[in-house]
Amino acid sequence: NAGVTQTPKFQVLKTGQSMTLQCAQDMNHNSMYWYRQDPGMGLRLIYYSASEGTTDKGEVPNGYNVSRLNKREFSLRLESAAPSQTSVYFCASSVMGSGNTIYFGEGSWLTVV
Amino acid sequence: TQLLEQSPQFLSIQEGENLTVYCNSSSVFSSLQWYRQEPGEGPVLLVTVVTGGEVKKLKRLTFQFGDARKDSSLHITAAQPGDTGLYLCAGSNTGKLIFGQGTTLQVKP
């Protein structure tokens, strides 16, 4: 039982390049989330998916797109990376809604130069 | 926009001291959670409080949810070096979990 697995763990991108962060959970959770974490700003919600087939914007969605491929997988895409998107990205999942325990992946360190 | 303000942002204390971290908002939350995060890892849930005025204890940690469900506190008694880490509060409403900016705690031996 791996929990929440996200890849890659580290990535360096040039400004304007695109990339996709992959996330999968094996806990049969309905809800999945993408957060970014920056020093002094806690975790900010980028997008979330309350259930398979639905996605909604969070606090900071600009510059990102998401796909809930199936119940297990929720990917985050940067179409044209900018230095402001340098951050640590966390994928998370929960049984149903954020009132339940949320389980986080180990994070993906992204640097845009 | 729902905002959660945590204070203090940084705290450095000696082993054995007590401390309290506060989490405040102008918004009402259906539940509030506290997480602890260690370097290089994702946050891990410590507790969820759902009822106004609720108090939960986890060994030396005491969590309280305000009567109006707008604020919460985390009190650590006799802090130990193993308590060192980033503590995050998070409020739940309308299907989203919003985090405070975090409190970095350092407990020196």
* CB pair distance less than 8 Å for B97 and A44: no
Residue contact B101–A102, C-beta within 8 A: no
- Is A76 in CB contact (< 8 Å) with chain B? no
The share of chain A scoring above pLDDT 90, in percent, equals 80
Structure token pair of residue B86? 């980033």
Is the pLDDT confidence value at B2 over 60?
A: no
Omega before residue B43 within 30° of 0, cis: no
What pLDDT digit, counting tens, does each position of A43-87 carry?
Answer: 999 999 988 889 999 989 999 999 998 999 999 999 999 999 999
pLDDT for B95: 65
Say yes or no for a CB contact (<8 Å) between A102 and B33.
yes
Residue carrying structure tokens 């946050």? B43
CA atoms in the 13 A half-sphere facing the CB of B39: 5
Closest to A3 in 3D by CA, of A24, A31, A32, A30: A24
Which residues face B21 on adjacent strands?
B74
Q: What is the DSSP string of A12-34?
A: EE-TT--EEEEEEESS--SEEEE
The pLDDT, as a whole number, for residue B67 is 93
Q: Indicate the length of chain B as a whole number.
A: 109
Q: What is the pLDDT of residue A99?
A: 63
